């Protein structure tokens, strides 16, 4: 059970870090200022809750104190409940968060939350029980619990709708997105934006006290939650279900917000707590919390001591979709970037595409015109490498051919300043061979973004044999600056992500030979939570491209192993995918339809190969598609391509849309049972060839009944 269970306090007075030392208490101008000092993010740990409880009691009884301000020490307000204490004894230590909120709502003197950095989850819910909220212009607020498979369980679903109405509350809580102080002010979530946080909050609190402001708690304000049509919730459920891709929390959140509009406050709060407990007990919560820590762990490279170099300027070679997207990523992070290509024409096509992308973002409302203009102004064009010779990093995103890349790298080596990092965005080529074209292989590294680069969150960094520690430290730190989730991969064909991908798409093709239809395979994958099934994905990226990549791989296949020839057969008939109006499917615009010609081709291939066709259950297909990912992932850990299993999860969630609520492929595999994955690999080796068989690591873990932590 989580922390809100009211038990006797087993650790009180034993553990010295509980109490006032996590919350500083000062009085200025008769206002008690409670400063939460619990780095890194002032989470509502037992120490913080105890400190706040004691501080509030003190402020209440001190007759010289006329009001209270709660503020975060360091860079941020409170980022929520302390996730690291979830499920531990510490989470049971009183006061609970609801206890503190009750004190605040019934506090006889005005209470003001002073917000900077981010007020998130339980931290923001605490602020919602203060009588007022002020914030710095740079502050953000949000209820991101949905990203952990949870809902705001400290009244967030009951109080936020009372400030902003159910529609906005549904949007904010089901997406978990953070909003700016300006937007929060507009919505009435905060009462003022101040320039000096503590003094501004003290002023605000003093004014409330001296003007005898009525102290109505948010939970008692009902205007915005009365008379709401049930239709609103029906529609919201439909639209949220579509985007949720199998996530349960978003729909439960709507139930809670509906409860806020239909039940008295006490019952609404009780309903929310009951639903929170249900979600807390769910597999999705466990998976998402695994994922949360995986993302942060992935930034850490064991044994890496070097300090990152600062990156103040960049250049991108190749102004196509990929290069343009990468230039946007730098510009969006405030880093000036040069974009170049082989001709002025190519560069101006690239920059036009970038302009169009920014226009779309502004049109959609995901970016303001001012932000877009600022970013665009940071992108300069160049036709000569000398124009950006002093850039701190270059990312090459040219055509995926070794001779082209080597030529670019040797030319870069000749002009770039000596300590510039030379990155390549290759998705599968040998980093060492590229580095060998330069006299500074220590500065050469893979920096692999995913398309569209300005949207997809993964940055897969690849270390070559000679890549220096400092280069690695720099590109790992750069990921954070760019707002990406980073993983570090070893140098091999396909690195972490694409190396696994070939088994997923490969098995989908074998399944078609054996009788599964493209539609069934796609539906199973989409029901699993993938944004798009493997067959549709092929159609989108182009079957001809698939054939080309495969041509290069054919030479490396061990004897007795083959690729399904379905792809080649489709391409021979001019079916190149969505771009030609037909691939596996037939397209009318973006709408896809099954095509009998595809069925004929598949059946013909099966006949020629003597493959027995049959029907498959959805469960069978799901396991056949995803188990090979886990098997290959295990081999990556074994040969050092991936540092740890959870890095592979991060790569697949961010680069390929693997559902985070299933934790990533490796987490999923462990839940399914590594012995089952192992047996599946033995079967796949029989059917498909030796590359599909299990490695030693998986064999050991499966037979010893162990998990990835024992890898
Ligand atoms: C909740 O509140 C439930 C309530 O509704 C109901 C209660 C009844 N706890 O991300 P960063 C750690 S659920 C403990 O690298 P950034 C994090 O692990 C909670 N630790 O920094 C990392 O540790 P390490 C709802 C936390 O600047 C370090 O802080 N709140 C927590 O990029 C730095 O984190 C959320 O879901 C936490 N709550 O981003 C907020 N949060 O250095 C989740 C972070 O050892 N957090 N840590 O790896 C975030 O979104 C980001 O961490 C934040 C900072 C924006 C705060």
What is the DSSP-derived secondary structure letter of residue 21?
A: G
Closest alpha carbon to 337 in 311, 359, 358: 311
Distance 483 CA to ligand 1 centre (A): 16
pLDDT exceeds 90 at position 551: no
What was the pLDDT predicted at 236? 98
Confidence of residue 68 (pLDDT cuts 50, 70, 90): very high
Q: Which of 145, 295, 396, 460 is catalytic?
A: 145
Distance 80 CA to ligand 1 centre (A): 7
C-alpha to C-alpha distances, 530 to 362, 533, 534, nearest whole angstrom:
28, 7, 9
pLDDT tens digits, 240-258 = 999 999 999 999 999 999 9
- Write the secondary structure of 55-68 as one string of H (helix), E (strand) and C (coil): HHHHHHHCCCCCEE
ipTM of this model? Answer: 0.99
Question: Residue 439 CB: number of other CB atoms within 10 A?
Answer: 12
Sequence-distant (6+) residues with CB within 8 A of 291 are 649, 650, 653, 660, 663, 664, 667
Distance 4 CA to ligand 1 centre (A): 19
What is the DSSP-derived secondary structure letter of residue 148?
A: G
Active site residue 591: no
Distance 147 CA to ligand 1 centre (A): 11
What was the pLDDT predicted at 556? 85
Q: Is 118 helix (H, G, I), strand (E, B) or coil?
A: strand
Residue among 41, 49, 269, 286 whose CB has most ligand 1 atoms within 8 A, to mutate = 41
Residues 637 and 634: their CA atoms lie apart, in Å, by: 5
Q: Which of 1, 54, 105, 125 is catalytic?
A: 125
C-alpha to C-alpha distances, 402 to 71, 429, 692, nearest whole angstrom:
55, 7, 27
Q: Is 176 helix (H, G, I), strand (E, B) or coil?
A: coil
317 pocket-lining for ligand 1 (C-beta < 6 Å): no
Residues 608 and 489: their CA atoms lie apart, in Å, by: 40
Distance 380 CA to ligand 1 centre (A): 36
Torsion of CA 331, 336, 340, 345, to 10 degrees: 70
What is the DSSP-derived secondary structure letter of residue 608?
A: H
DSSP 627-642: HHHHHHHHHHHHTTSB
Angle between helices 696-704 and 618-638 (to 10 degrees): 110
Residues 208 and 67: their CA atoms lie apart, in Å, by: 8
**Closest residue by CA, ligand 1 atom 1:** 81
Q: What is the mean pLDDT of residues 595-621?
A: 97
**Residues shown for the chain:** 711
Residues 694 and 634: their CA atoms lie apart, in Å, by: 8
Distance 57 CA to ligand 1 centre (A): 27
Residues 112 and 132: their CA atoms lie apart, in Å, by: 5
Residue reference for tokens 């002023």: 203
151 pocket-lining for ligand 1 (C-beta < 6 Å): no
145 pocket-lining for ligand 1 (C-beta < 6 Å): yes
Structure tokens at 327: 């230039």
Torsion of CA 198, 333, 531, 689, to 10 degrees: -130
Active site residue 125: yes
Residues 480 and 478: their CA atoms lie apart, in Å, by: 5
Atom of ligand 1 nearest to the CA of 176: 36
Residues 518 and 543: their CA atoms lie apart, in Å, by: 14
Query: Could you tell me the pTM of the whole model?
Result: 0.94
128 pocket-lining for ligand 1 (C-beta < 6 Å): no
Torsion of CA 609, 678, 528, 547, to 10 degrees: -40
152 pocket-lining for ligand 1 (C-beta < 6 Å): yes
Q: Are strands 31-36 and 23-28 parallel, antiparallel or unpaired?
A: antiparallel
What was the pLDDT predicted at 9? 35
pLDDT exceeds 70 at position 394: yes
Distance 157 CA to ligand 1 centre (A): 20
84 pocket-lining for ligand 1 (C-beta < 6 Å): yes
pLDDT exceeds 90 at position 294: yes
- For the ranges 11-25, 54-68, 419-433, the lowest mean pLDDT is seen at 11-25
Confidence of residue 220 (pLDDT cuts 50, 70, 90): very high
Residue among 79, 84, 85, 159 whose CB has most ligand 1 atoms within 8 A, to mutate = 79
**Closest residue by CA, ligand 1 atom 43:** 79
Contact yes or no for 418/391 (Cβ under 8 A): no
**Closest residue by CA, ligand 1 atom 45:** 296
Contact yes or no for 404/424 (Cβ under 8 A): no
Query: For residue 337, what are the β-bridge partners?
Result: 314, 379
- Determine the distance from the C-alpha atom of residue 155 to the mean position of all C-alpha atoms in its chain, rounded to a whole number: 25
Segment holding 147, helix H or strand E: none
What was the pLDDT predicted at 398? 95
pLDDT tens digits, 632-650 = 999 999 999 999 999 999 9
pLDDT tens digits, 676-706 = 999 999 999 999 999 999 999 999 999 999 9
């Amino acid at each position: 059970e989580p922390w809100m269970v009211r038990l006797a306090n087993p650790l009180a007075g034993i553990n010295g870090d509980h109490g006032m030392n996590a919350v500083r208490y000062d009085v200025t101008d008769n206002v008690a200022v409670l400063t939460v000092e619990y780095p890194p993010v002032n989470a509502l740990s037992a120490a913080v809750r105890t400190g706040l409880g004691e501080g509030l009691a003190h402020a209440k009884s001190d007759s010289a104190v006329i009001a209270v301000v709660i503020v975060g020490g360091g860079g941020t307000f409170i980022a929520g409940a302390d996730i690291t204490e979830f499920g531990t004894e510490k989470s049971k230590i009183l006061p609970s968060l609801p206890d503190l909120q009750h004190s605040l709502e019934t506090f006889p003197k005005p209470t003001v939350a002073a917000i900077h950095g981010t007020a998130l989850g339980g931290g923001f819910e605490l602020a919602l029980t203060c009588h007022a909220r002020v914030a710095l212009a740079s502050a953000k607020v949000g209820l991101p619990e949905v990203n952990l498979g949870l809902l705001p369980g400290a009244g967030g679903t009951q109080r936020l709708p009372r400030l902003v109405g159910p529609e906005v509350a549904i949007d904010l809580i089901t997406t978990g997105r953070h909003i700016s102080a300006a937007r929060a002010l507009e919505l009435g979530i905060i009462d003022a934006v101040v320039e000096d946080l503590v003094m501004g909050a003290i002023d605000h609190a003093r004014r409330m006290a001296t003007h005898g402001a009525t102290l109505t708690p948010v939970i008692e304000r009902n205007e915005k939650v009365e008379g709401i049509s049930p239709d609103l919730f029906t529609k919201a459920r439909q639209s949220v279900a579509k985007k949720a891709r199998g996530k349960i929390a978003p729909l439960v959140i709507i139930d809670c917000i509906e409860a806020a509009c239909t039940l008295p406050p006490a019952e609404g709060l009780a309903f929310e707590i009951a639903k929170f407990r249900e979600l807390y007990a769910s597999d999705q919560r466990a998976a998402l919390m695994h994922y949360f820590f995986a993302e942060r762990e992935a930034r850490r490279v064991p044994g890496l001591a070097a300090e990152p170099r600062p990156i103040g300027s960049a250049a991108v070679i190749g102004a196509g979709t990929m290069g343009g997207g990468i230039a946007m990523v730098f510009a969006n992070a405030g880093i000036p970037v040069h974009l170049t290509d082989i001709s002025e024409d190519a560069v101006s096509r690239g920059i036009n595409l970038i302009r169009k992308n920014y226009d779309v973002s502004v049109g959609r409302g995901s970016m303001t015109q001012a932000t877009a203009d600022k970013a665009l102004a940071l992108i300069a064009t160049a036709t000569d490498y000398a124009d950006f010779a002093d850039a701190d990093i270059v990312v090459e995103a040219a055509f995926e051919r070794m001779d082209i890349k080597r030529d670019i790298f040797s030319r870069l080596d000749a002009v770039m300043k000596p300590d510039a990092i030379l990155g390549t965005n290759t998705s599968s080529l040998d980093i060492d061979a590229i580095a060998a074209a330069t006299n500074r292989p220590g500065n050469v590294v893979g920096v692999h973004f995913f398309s569209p680069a300005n949207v997809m969150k993964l940055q897969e960094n690849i270390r070559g044999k000679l890549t220096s520690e400092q280069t690695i430290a720099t590109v790992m730190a750069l990921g954070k600056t760019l707002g990406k989730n980073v993983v570090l991969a070893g140098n091999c064909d396909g690195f972490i992500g694409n190396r696994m991908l070939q088994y997923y798409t490969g098995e989908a093709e074998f399944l078609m030979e054996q009788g599964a239809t493209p539609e069934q395979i796609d539906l199973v994958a989409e029901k699993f939570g993938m944004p798009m099934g493997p067959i549709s994905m092929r159609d989108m990226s182009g079957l001809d491209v698939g054939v080309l990549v495969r041509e290069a791989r054919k030479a490396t296949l061990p004897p007795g192993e083959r690729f399904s020839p379905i792809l080649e057969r489709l391409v021979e008939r001019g079916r190149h995918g969505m771009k030609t109006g037909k691939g596996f499917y037939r397209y009318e615009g973006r709408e896809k339809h099954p095509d009998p010609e595809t069925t004929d081709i598949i059946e013909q291939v099966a006949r020629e190969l003597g493959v027995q066709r049959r029907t498959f259950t959805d469960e069978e297909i799901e396991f056949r598609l995803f188990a090979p990912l886990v098997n290959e992932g295990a081999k990556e850990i074994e040969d050092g391509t991936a540092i740890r299993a959870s890095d592979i999860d991060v790569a697949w969630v961010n680069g390929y849309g693997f559902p985070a609520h299933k934790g990533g492929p490796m987490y999923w595999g462990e839940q399914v049972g590594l012995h089952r994955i192992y047996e599946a690999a033995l079967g796949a080796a029989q059917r498909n060839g030796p590359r599909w068989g299990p490695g030693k690591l998986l064999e050991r873990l499966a037979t010893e009944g162990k998990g990835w932590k024992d890898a």
